[in-house]
Chain A
Amino acid sequence: MRYGDILEAIGETPLVGLPAMSPKPGVRLWGKLEGQNPSGSLKDRIAKRMIQAALASGELTGKRTILEPTSGNTGIALAMVARRMGYRLTVVIPDNAGEERIRLLELFGAEVVYSPGDKGTNGSIEVARALARDDRYYMPFQYGNPANPLAHYEGTGAEIVRDLPEVTHFVAGLGTGGTLTGVGRRLHEHDPGVKVIAAEPELGEMVYGLRSLDEGFIPPIFDQSVLDRKFLVNSSDSLRATRELTEKEGIFAGISSGAVVSVAQRIAAEIERGDIVCLLPDGGWKYLSTEAWASELERAEKSVSETLWW
Chain B
Amino acid sequence: MSVRVKLPTILRKHAGGEALVDAEGATLRDLLSNLESRYPGITKNIVADDGGLHRFINVYVNDEDVRYLGALETSVNEGDTVSILPAVAGGRAQAADPEDPGCVPEQRPPHQGEIVRTTS
Query: Which chain B residue shows the least CB distance to A222?
Result: B89
Q: Once the chains bind, are B45 and A214 in contact (CB under 8 Å)?
A: yes
Chain B residue total in the interface (Cβ 8 A):
46
Complex: how many Å from CA A224 to CA B53? 14
**Are A114 and B117 neighbours in the complex by a CB distance under 8 Å?**
yes
Are A122 and B65 CB-contacts (below 8 A) given A127-B110, A141-B101, A208-B85?
Answer: no
In the assembled complex, the CB of A230 is this many whole angstroms from the nearest CB of chain B, namely 4
Chain A interface residues toward B at CB < 8 A: 95, 102, 106, 111-116, 120-122, 125-127, 129-133, 139, 141, 143-145, 174-177, 198, 200, 202-203, 205, 207-209, 211-220, 224, 227-233
Which residue of chain A lies nearest to B19 when distances are taken between CB atoms in the complex?
Answer: A205
**Cβ–Cβ < 8 Å partners of A205 in chain B:** 9
| Count of A-B residue pairs with CB < 8 Å | 152
Contact of A232 among B54, B65, B95 (CB under 8 A): B65
Q: Give B residues with C-beta under 8 Å from A.
A: 8-11, 45, 54-58, 60, 63-65, 67-69, 83, 85-93, 95-98, 101-104, 107-110, 114-120
- Bound together, the chains give a CA A209 to CA B88 distance in angstroms of 11
Nearest residue (CB) in B for A310 is B89
B93 and A215 contact, CB distance less than 8 A: yes
Closest to B54 in A: A213
Q: Are B87 and A216 in contact (CB under 8 A)?
A: yes
Per the bound structure, the CA–CA distance linking A130 and B11 in Å amounts to 30
In the bound complex, residues from chain B placing their C-beta under 8 Å from that of A207 are 88
